[in-house]
């Protein structure tokens, strides 16, 4: 499977792809991205990812030159050229090119990149036995600084700091709180807690990215008869719940079995987590074919 990069209309192998050193995302983190899965030669939830991307462009004031439908067609064409069955797409849009923080002083033609690659966040064993998670000192960026619904490249510096904290103690993930001490998300995943038959997840106002996989799982669980609620949660809720799991495009659905060394429930992936995982895997058979 050739790993390809489409950059502003030019396709090249991943190993030789280059971008300008004056790209505004390279200089200032001034860009947006989407990570998108390919399952069985179908791009999963492509429309949802593209809508979020274009909402981010509007919020940040990018002078986007490609219509959504054009970008969608281009992305599917690049996937076909890569001839890939299962993989991971990284889609980047940056404000433009030029030195200087002030956007009025740069070339504001957005740089658009589509990378076709593969990515596995966790080992196969972790999906069987669940993740060990630790609380981190890094907080999510508050909404009055940057709206958490915007998947901004520069925003992820705090997530990387939290991930390195988790790495230092050998944990699979790091849990991030907001400045009020409420649960927000993990470094690359949304979090769900299960109490009885009820599935709880942090409300968007807690500072989370509203993940595409998160929203998909919420709909699947509700359709399966579970009560799903967005609410305010604290670490107390984790320690007293029956099960927990994480979701994300790269992570998919994975059980969370401990927090800070304390078991969640019986310390193993629970039955509702397993059921939700099965529902999600069935849903991945849908998508935009190429």
Residues 98 and 241 in one domain: no
188 and 65 inside one domain? no
Here the CATH number for the domain that contains residue 185 is 3.20.10.10
How does pLDDT run across 239-288, given as a tens digit for each residue?
999 999 999 999 999 999 999 999 999 999 999 999 999 999 999 999 99
Q: pLDDT at residue 289 above 90?
A: yes
Helix-helix angle 271-283:212-223, to 10 degrees: 110
How many domains is the chain built from? 2
**Same domain, yes or no, for 207 and 266?**
yes
Q: Which domain holds residue 203?
A: 124-283
Asked if residue 290 belongs to a domain, the reply is no
With beta carbons less than 8 A apart as the criterion, state whether 190 and 246 touch.
Answer: yes
Residues 179 and 257 in one domain: yes
Q: Are residues 90 and 169 in the same domain?
A: no
pLDDT category at 2 given cuts 50, 70, 90 is confident
| Confidence band of 78 (pLDDT split at 50, 70, 90) | very high
pLDDT in tens, 144-158: 999 999 999 999 999
pLDDT > 90 fraction of the chain, expressed in percent and rounded: 98
The CATH number given to whatever domain includes residue 58 is 3.30.470.10
CB within 8 A of 184, min separation 6: which ones? 139, 140, 148, 176, 177, 178, 202, 206, 207, 208
| Mean pLDDT rounded to a whole number for the chain | 97
Q: Could you report the per-residue pLDDT of 180-214, keeping only the tens digit for each?
A: 999 999 999 999 999 999 999 999 999 999 999 99
Percent of the chain with pLDDT over 70: 100
Residues 129 and 93 in one domain: no
| 90 and 136 together in one domain | no
- Considering the domain architecture, whether residues 43 and 149 belong to the same structural domain is answered as no
Question: Do residues 148 and 112 both lie within one domain?
Answer: no
Using the predicted structure, report yes or no on whether residue 91 has a pLDDT greater than 70. Answer: yes
Same domain, 137 and 276: yes
The answer to the question of residue 289 being in a domain is: no
Q: What pTM did the predictor assign?
A: 0.95
Q: pLDDT tens digits for 221-244?
A: 999 999 999 999 999 999 999 999
Q: 155 and 276 share a domain?
A: yes
Domain boundary among 71, 92, 117: 117
pLDDT of residue 16: 93
Together in a domain, 203 and 240: yes
In a domain, 192, yes or no: yes
The per-residue pLDDT for 1 is 56
């Amino acid at each position: 499977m050739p790993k390809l990069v489409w950059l502003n209309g030019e396709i090249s192998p991943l190993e030789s792809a280059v971008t300008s050193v004056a790209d505004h995302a390279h200089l200032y983190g001034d860009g947006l991205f989407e990570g998108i899965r390919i399952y069985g030669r179908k791009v999963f939830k492509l429309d949802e990812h593209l809508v979020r991307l274009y909402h981010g462009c509007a919020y940040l004031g990018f002078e986007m030159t490609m219509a959504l439908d054009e970008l969608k067609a281009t992305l599917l064409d690049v996937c076909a050229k890569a001839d890939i069955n299962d993989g991971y797409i990284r889609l980047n849009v940056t404000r433009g090119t030029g030195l200087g923080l002030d956007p009025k002083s740069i070339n504001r033609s957005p740089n658009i990149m589509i990378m076709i690659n593969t990515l596995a966040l966790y080992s196969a064993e972790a999906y069987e036995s669940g993740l060990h998670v630790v609380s981190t000192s890094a907080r999510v960026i508050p909404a009055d600084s940057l709206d958490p619904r915007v998947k901004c490249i520069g925003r992820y510096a705090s997530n990387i700091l939290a991930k390195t904290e988790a790495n230092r103690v050998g944990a699979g993930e790091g849990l991030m709180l907001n400045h009020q001490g409420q649960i927000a998300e993990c470094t690359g995943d949304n979090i769900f807690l299960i109490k009885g038959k009820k599935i709880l997840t942090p409300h968007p106002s807690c500072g989370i990215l509203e993940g595409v996989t998160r929203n998909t799982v919420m709909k699947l669980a509700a359709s399966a008869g579970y009560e799903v609620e967005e609410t305010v949660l604290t670490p107390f809720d984790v320690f007293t719940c029956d099960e927990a799991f994480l979701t994300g495009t790269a992570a998919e659905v994975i059980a969370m079995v401990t927090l800070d060394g304390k078991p969640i429930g019986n310390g193993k992936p629970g039955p509702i987590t397993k059921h939700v995982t099965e529902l999600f895997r069935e849903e991945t058979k849908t998508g935009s074919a190429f």
